[in-house]
Structures are given as C-alpha cells and as structure tokens.
C-alpha cells in the first residue's frame, strides 16, 4: 500500500513538472470572442476550430438536430478583418436526383430566400446552405447568432425541407 501511494505521489510530482497544453486554443479576433461569449451565456455547445489553413478566418462550429434533418453542422467563419462573417452548413444531404432537377430546385430556393444561398457541391453531390454578412465587430454576437438560427429555420421549414428531400 505504501509503495502504491509513493508511486502515485512520484507520478503526480513528475507530471507537474511539464506544462499542460491548453485543451482549446483561444480566439484572437474580437468578433469571434464576442460570439463565443454569447454562445456560452446561452449555454450553447460549440467547438472553436481555430484559424483555417491560410489564416484568413477563425472558425466556430455548432451542431444542431432539426425536425426535418438528423444533424447539421453550422460552421461560422470570422474573417480576419473583424467585419465579415460567413455561415456554412455543409452536407445537408446528398443529391441523387438528376443535376437539372437539383439545380432547378436550388435556384427556386435561392429566388425565395434572397439572403440565404443553396449550393450543390458537384464534387460529392452534397447540398449546402450559405449566408454572408458584414458586421460591426463590437456588436456582432447577437446578429451572427440570429443569422445562424434564421439559416437553420429556413432549412428546417416544412416546404424547404420537402423540396430539399426531393433531391435525394
């Protein structure tokens, strides 16, 4: 027993000599910080993904389960200019219908929703939704949160979901 306690104590002391890496990076941009603070105040789970490969955007991911879609991940890109935010919901579904049918239906949705954009990724035939916005860096958190929810509500709307599911 004494040996076990001594071993545990020695292991703890040894490990305390090494600094522990932070479990999550810290956002640098004002817009990203404000948005994360807003999410935390609302107890929304998120993942801070850090900078993209070319260091132009910081990314935050929020995953939701909707009524008409099992799970969608909203990726929010905060541009390094602190004024531009892009929301992307990739892989809403995989389209197996004919390309003309898919594009006609997505164009129809784009006509109905001027501030949301539906896109077909022709590499893997997945459908995505997008929204871009210009924000004031000091007052962006609620606007970005609301935009994210508006985009999710559009996707989950009964008529939109019906049109999207017809593409499968």
Give the domain ranges of the chain.
Answer: 26-165
Q: Are 23 and 76 in contact (CB under 8 A)?
A: no
Q: How do residues 56-74 score in pLDDT, each as one tens digit?
A: 999 999 999 999 999 999 9
Q: How do residues 101-157 score in pLDDT, each as one tens digit?
A: 999 999 999 999 999 999 999 999 999 999 999 999 889 999 999 999 999 999 999
Exposure string over 42-71, b if 16+ CB within 10 A, otherwise e = eeeeeebbbbeeeeebbbbebebeeeebee
**What pTM does this model have?**
0.82
26-165 placed in CATH 3.90.1170.50: no
């Amino acid at each position: 027993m004494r040996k076990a306690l001594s071993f545990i104590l020695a292991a703890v002391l040894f490990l305390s000599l090494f600094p522990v890496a932070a479990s999550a990076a810290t956002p640098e941009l004002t817009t990203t910080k404000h948005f994360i603070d807003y999410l935390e105040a609302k107890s929304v789970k998120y993942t801070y993904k850090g900078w993209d490969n070319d260091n132009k955007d910081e990314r935050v991911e929020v995953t939701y389960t909707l009524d008409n879609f099992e799970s969608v991940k909203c990726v929010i890109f905060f541009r390094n200019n602190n004024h531009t935010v892009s929301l992307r919901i990739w892989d809403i579904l995989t389209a197996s219908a004919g390309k003309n049918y898919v594009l006609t239906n997505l164009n129809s949705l784009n006509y109905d929703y001027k501030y949301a954009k539906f896109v077909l990724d022709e590499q893997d035939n997945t459908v995505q939704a997008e929204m871009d916005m210009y924000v004031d860096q000091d007052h962006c958190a609620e606007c970005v949160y609301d935009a994210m929810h508006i985009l999710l509500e559009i996707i989950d709307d009964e008529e939109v979901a019906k049109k999207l599911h017809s593409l499968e």
